[in-house]
A and B are shown apart, each in its own frame.
Chain A
Amino acid sequence: DVGMTQSPLSLPATPGQPASISCRASRSLLHSNGYNYLDWYLQRPGQSPQLLIFLASHRASGVPDRFSGSGSGTDFTLKISRVEPEDVGVYFCMQALQTPITFGQGTRLEIK
């Protein structure tokens, strides 16, 4: 199975300031088609996860441009350029290169 490790697990953030989450995979997520099969999800309190970023760097429909994803191979980063109060929740990375699909442990973002 592909192990997924996120850091930090807890992220106190200040509104208007940037924030960053790291996700590391135990093997490369780079497919032969040139895409990295790494997605980012946000689970707001009491809600189901919603897709933010797919294939490492592509914003999903309706996601604000303050969210961006980067990385390749085994190391990936989700960045929020300016944190807003509605960004509170748990962020998960997910690899879909192979089954079983696996998730990072989650990073809880809270407002300071």
Chain B
Amino acid sequence: QVQLVEAGGGVAQPGKSLRLSCETSGFNFRSYTMHWVRQAPGRGLEWVALMSYDETYKFYGGSVRGRFTISRDNSKNTLYLQMNSLRIDDTAVYYCARGLNSVFDWRTDYWGQGTLVTVSS
């Protein structure tokens, strides 16, 4: 079955960096677009970034563009999110989500359980 397991969350000071990872199994990772979505405590969902299966397309949400970088290693079936210049309002649970195996269709289906990032001084 499809599994997505996020890791790398924790506490970081404002201005510092963290790198999240999402290990996947149960599907052909290299054929699927992948996403990061976050949810601040007690709040709604905010889409963060996506990367197409072949890395041709990378898109970011406005609040993270220029600070966060999405990447993937298809040989390790793993998705990454490099988060630099962290701000207090980046505090959230970060979910990895599987997209589809077609280009220009940016829907998602399976989501991981998330990893908590807390930015605090």
Closest residue of chain B to A105 (Cβ to Cβ) is B44
Distance between Cα atoms of A42 and B95 in the complex (Å): 15
Distance between Cα atoms of A104 and B44 in the complex (Å): 8
Closest residue of chain B to A90 (Cβ to Cβ) is B44
Within 8 Å by CB of A99, from B45, B50, B110, B114, lies B50
Q: State whether the Cβ of B16 lies closer than 8 Å to any Cβ in chain A.
A: no
Within 8 Å by CB of B44, from A100, A101, A103, lies A103
Q: State whether the Cβ of A96 lies closer than 8 Å to any Cβ in chain B.
A: yes
Taking CB atoms and an 8 Å cut-off, the chain B residues in 91-121 that contact chain A are 95, 105-114
CB–CB B107/A39 < 8 A? yes
Distance between Cα atoms of A104 and B59 in the complex (Å): 20
- Total CB contacts across the A-B interface at under 8 A: 52
Chain B min CB distance to A4 (Å): 10
Taking CB atoms and an 8 Å cut-off, the chain A residues in 25-48 that contact chain B are 37, 39, 47-48
Q: Which B residues touch A96, using CB under 8 A?
A: 105-108
Distance between Cα atoms of A103 and B106 in the complex (Å): 13
CB–CB A50/B111 < 8 A? yes
Distance between Cα atoms of A102 and B62 in the complex (Å): 11
Q: Which A residues touch B95, using CB under 8 A?
A: 48-49
Q: Which A residues touch B44, using CB under 8 A?
A: 92, 103-106
Q: State whether the Cβ of B66 lies closer than 8 Å to any Cβ in chain A.
A: no
Distance between Cα atoms of A104 and B60 in the complex (Å): 18
Q: State whether the Cβ of B32 lies closer than 8 Å to any Cβ in chain A.
A: no
Q: State whether the Cβ of A54 lies closer than 8 Å to any Cβ in chain B.
A: yes
Distance between Cα atoms of A105 and B107 in the complex (Å): 18
CB–CB A102/B47 < 8 A? yes
Distance between Cα atoms of A34 and B95 in the complex (Å): 30
Distance between Cα atoms of A39 and B99 in the complex (Å): 13
Instruction: Show the binding face of A for B, using Cβ within 8 Å.
Output: 1, 37, 39, 47-51, 54-55, 60, 92, 94, 96, 98-106
Sample (15) of A-B pairs whose CB atoms are under 8 Å apart: A37-B107, A39-B107, A48-B111, A48-B113, A50-B111, A51-B108, A54-B107, A94-B108, A96-B106, A96-B108, A100-B47, A100-B61, A103-B46, A105-B44, A106-B44
Instruction: Show the binding face of B for A, using Cβ within 8 Å.
Output: 35, 44-47, 50, 59-62, 95, 105-114
